[in-house]
């Protein structure tokens, strides 16, 4: 039987999970295909919840996880708008990508903090009430956007702090984004079905 981890260790490992998935969300936000970025971010967030569930020794159900994400984030009109901007030739991909990246990473941070708080208090995936935690999500979403802006700035201009670790995380994020981007393109072109897309996406996130 595995040794029970202290609350401090659980919190530390949860923070690492959230940070790494924020990095992935930043990368996914720059996927140039409009709305394919939303698909990539959704996959990253679902994977984060799965890993947080495992960290706190809680069972994970994909359907339930998706439902909670939708309930907490709502229609995410801001993110949809940022994604749609990419339809504009030239500058659209740049400005849409930056906005989408920050909003996506901010949302990922907020979701991570909601699940971390809930699990740390002894809750499970099944008894998480999105209505009661929505206000907390909104507060963390604002905080997450500020953190995301700092992360994005460091990724592009500051490589002095934790340079080696930063490069590893960026390479992993780029690799994940490239794979999700390729899948989204194949699905858009009708080469693979939605079912095949979901299966391939799960396989990539497990690797």
205 touches 173 (CB < 8 A): no
Q: What is the pLDDT of residues 2-53, one digit of tens each?
A: 567 889 999 999 999 999 998 888 776 554 444 444 567 788 888 999 999 9
Q: What is the pLDDT of residues 77-114, one digit of tens each?
A: 444 444 433 333 443 333 334 566 788 888 899 999 99
pTM for this prediction = 0.65
Q: What is the rounded distance in angstroms from the CA atom of residue 129 to the CA atom of residue 137? A: 12
Q: What is the pLDDT of residues 123-181, one digit of tens each?
A: 999 999 999 999 999 999 899 989 988 877 766 554 444 444 444 455 565 666 667 76
State the burial class of residue 80 (Cβ atoms within 10 Å of its Cβ: 0-12, 13-18, 19+).
Answer: middle
Residue 77, SS3 per DSSP: helix
Q: What is the rounded distance in angstroms from the CA atom of residue 12 to the CA atom of residue 14? A: 5
Residues 68-72: contacts with CB under 8 Å, at least 24 apart: 68/125, 68/128, 68/130, 69/42, 69/45, 69/111, 71/130, 71/131, 71/134, 72/110, 72/111, 72/114, 72/130, 72/133, 72/134, 72/137
30 touches 101 (CB < 8 A): yes
Rg value, the chain, Cα: 17
Cα first-last separation, the chain: 26
106 touches 78 (CB < 8 A): no
Q: Spell out the domain ranges in the chain.
A: 7-149
């Amino acid at each position: 039987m595995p040794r029970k981890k202290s609350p401090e260790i659980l919190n530390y490992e949860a923070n690492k999970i959230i940070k790494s998935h924020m990095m992935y969300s930043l990368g996914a936000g720059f996927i140039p295909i409009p709305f394919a970025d939303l698909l990539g971010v959704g996959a990253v967030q679902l994977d984060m919840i799965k890993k947080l569930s495992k960290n706190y020794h809680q069972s994970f159900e994909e359907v339930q996880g998706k439902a909670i994400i939708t309930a907490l984030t709502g229609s995410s009109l801001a993110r949809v708008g940022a994604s749609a901007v990419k339809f504009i030739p030239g500058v659209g991909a740049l400005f849409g990508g930056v906005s989408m990246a920050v909003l996506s990473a901010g949302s990922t941070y907020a979701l991570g903090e909601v699940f971390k708080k809930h699990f740390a208090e002894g809750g499970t995936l099944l008894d998480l009430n999105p209505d009661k935690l929505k206000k907390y999500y909104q507060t963390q979403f604002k905080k997450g956007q500020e953190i995301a802006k700092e992360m994005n700035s460091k990724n592009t201009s500051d490589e002095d702090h934790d340079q080696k670790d930063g490069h590893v995380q960026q390479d992993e994020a780029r690799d994940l984004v490239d794979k999700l981007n390729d899948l989204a393109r194949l699905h858009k072109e009708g080469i693979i079905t939605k079912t095949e897309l979901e299966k391939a996406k799960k396989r990539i996130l497990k690797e």
